[in-house]
């Protein structure tokens, strides 16, 4: 198998990202979450999202590491997870496009694609309605001091197609607007989902 310069770069940067994640999350004294996330985000942007994602799956943020932070700091780990996950998808698609999986005569006719792909369109409409509703329920639960819906549920619904519905709900219900993993994460998910749809429209 012949490896291109791009392949070697991807392997190298992701191996570096994998090791860097393990090193940073176990560094003593532990870096502040903001500084740590900034470094990991830069490495993700440079192509290391897969390495960080794999490291998070296998090692995560260790219990010893988590114990040094309060509850709010632990939630802030969500931002780097959202960031890395979105850029991982974008980078996979960019790699596939570079490898020639895109039609030569590609199109940006999203509306025509949605009209032709009715099942996919129905899925997107449904997941966005569900996400919008779940955000509204969580806001109501917060006002009434009832048990809340898990952050991972809200982010998961948004990640798998419901980001637009979640973003609309955020500002209609004024809910989660001060949490960066929602205020920044959901627009980033919309960008990621747009890239996915573009690829599906034009894949060979």
SS3 of 153-170: the string is HHHHHHHHHHHHHHHHHH
Using left for φ > 0, alpha for ψ between -120 and 50, and beta otherwise, residue 171 falls in alpha
Residue closest to 97 by CA, chosen among 200, 201, 199: 199
Q: Give the pLDDT of residue 27.
A: 77
Q: Give the pLDDT of residue 35.
A: 81
- For the stretch 95-137, pLDDT in tens is 999 999 999 898 999 999 999 999 999 999 999 999 999 999 9
Q: In which residue ranges of the chain is pLDDT below 50?
A: 63-70
How many CA atoms within 13 Å lie on the side-chain side of 198?
16
Helix 49-58 with 33-43: angle, nearest 10 deg: 130
pTM for the structure as a whole: 0.88
Distance, CA of 68 to CA of 61 (rounded, Å):
11
Q: Give the pLDDT of residue 9.
A: 95
Q: Give the pLDDT of residue 67.
A: 42
Q: Give the pLDDT of residue 104.
A: 87
User: Partners of 203 in the beta sheet?
Assistant: 102
Q: Give the pLDDT of residue 70.
A: 47
Residue 5, preceding bond cis, omega within 30 degrees? Answer: no
Distance, CA of 145 to CA of 139 (rounded, Å):
10
- Tell me the two tokens of residue 192: 């990621």
DSSP 37: H
Q: Give the pLDDT of residue 60.
A: 76
């Amino acid at each position: 198998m012949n490896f291109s310069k791009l392949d070697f770069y991807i392997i190298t940067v992701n191996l570096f990202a994998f090791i860097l994640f393990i090193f940073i999350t176990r560094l003593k004294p532990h870096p502040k979450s903001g500084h740590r996330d900034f470094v990991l985000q830069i490495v993700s942007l440079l192509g290391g999202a897969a390495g960080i994602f794999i490291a998070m799956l296998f090692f995560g943020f260790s219990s010893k590491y988590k114990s040094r932070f309060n509850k709010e700091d632990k939630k802030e780990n969500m931002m780097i997870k959202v960031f890395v996950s979105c850029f991982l998808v974008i980078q996979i698609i960019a790699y596939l496009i570079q490898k020639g999986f895109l039609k030569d005569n590609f199109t940006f006719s999203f509306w025509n694609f949605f009209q032709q792909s009715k099942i996919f369109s129905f899925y997107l409409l449904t997941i966005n309605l569900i996400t919008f509703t779940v955000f509204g329920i969580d806001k109501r639960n917060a006002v009434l001091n009832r048990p809340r819906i898990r952050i991972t549920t809200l982010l998961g619904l948004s990640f798998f197609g419901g980001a637009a519905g979640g973003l609309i709900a955020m500002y209609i219900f004024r809910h989660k607007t001060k949490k960066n993993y929602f205020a920044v994460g959901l627009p980033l998910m919309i960008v990621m989902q747009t890239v996915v749809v573009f690829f599906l429209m034009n894949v060979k």
